[in-house]
Structure 1
Amino acid sequence: MLCIFFNLGLMKKVKKILIIEDDATTAFLHQRLLQDMDVAEEIEYITDPQQALEYLQNNHSAADLIFLDVEMPQMDGFQFLDKLEARGISLKDIFIVMHTASMSPEHKKKAETLYGEKLKGFVQKPLQAEFIKDAICKIDRV
């Protein structure tokens, strides 16, 4: 269910959205979509998951919403989440939406089984306005 306030222009912007995506072109396109939607004060992307881990460890409240790629060569999204928790960063404190090009049932089941309510969404790439609106609405209700 999409938030009616978004469509009426009454929804407040989130402070920061972070995109963790190994493909720079995809990350840039997602960033442009988010900028065009005017949903955040700041939108940043990081293409190296190790660098993203370090960034989040040093800035616990660095982002209101994170779009995390599932399939990355250095470490996949699931390994990223495990390493994030191993560093003492609770997934409950961050709105994380995983995104993937394949949308395989195995990935979705793995996400639900391992992380359950800690993940706020699992969507197919490329990001679409409806998914983004839904994620922003969920943040606004917390």
Structure 2
Amino acid sequence: MASRFKTCLLIDDNYIDNFVTRKILEGSNFVEEIIVVRSATDAINSLRDGSVKPDVIFLDVRMPLMGGFEFLDEYDKIDIDKTAIKIFMLSSSLDPLDMRKSTDNKYITQFIHKPLTQKALEELCP
């Protein structure tokens, strides 16, 4: 079975969360390549300079220096084709405001609670 996506950009400052998410993605045949970036600023720079061209992004909400929603503000300013990129907000946040903001954001496909599970992944793109 072919992977659903070619390149995944995982943006999360937490090493353990990245490890778990990577293992779930690798075991699911969800994506061919996984690029892990522990800083939203580094992710923006990689997208801006074209060194990373994901078709799916898993984005944490709470990170130092630039959080997920600040990332989305900067992402909006980048001149790339965003129509083929799915962004999943992946967070341990239970704040209803975070969930509402992700629902209202035009780039967020879905809000997913951490940790990512095989079941949640299967429900993303049936």
TM range (shorter): 0.7 to 0.9
Could you say which residue in structure 2 is the equivalent of 1:74? 65
Please identify which structure carries the higher helix content.
1
Task: Give runs of ≥4 in structure 1 deviating > 6 Å.
Answer: none
3-state SS of the aligned residue for 2:48? helix
**8 A Cα contact 2:9 2:34, kept in partner:** yes
* Cα separation, partners in 2 of 1:136 and 1:42, compared to 1, 3 Å: farther
Could you say which residue in structure 2 is the equivalent of 1:99? 90
Find 1:126's aligned residue among 99, 115, 125.
Answer: 115
Could you say which residue in structure 2 is the equivalent of 1:87? 78
Q: TM-score w.r.t. structure 1 length?
A: 0.78
Could you say which residue in structure 2 is the equivalent of 1:65? 56
Structure of larger gyration radius:
1
The answer to whether residue 32 in structure 2 is matched with residue 28 in structure 1 is: no
Q: TM-score w.r.t. structure 2 length?
A: 0.87
For the aligned residues, what is the CA RMSD?
1.9
Find 1:17's aligned residue among 8, 16, 20.
Answer: 8
- Gapped runs of 5+ residues in structure 2? none
**8 A Cα contact 1:27 1:45, kept in partner:** yes
Q: Which deviates more from structure 2 when the two are superposed, residues 21-30 or residues 90-99? A: 90-99
- Gapped runs of 5+ residues in structure 1? 1-9, 138-142
**How many pairs does the alignment contain?**
125
Cα shift readout 1:30-83 (whole Å, capped 9, x = no counterpart): 111111122221112100111111111122871121100011111110000000
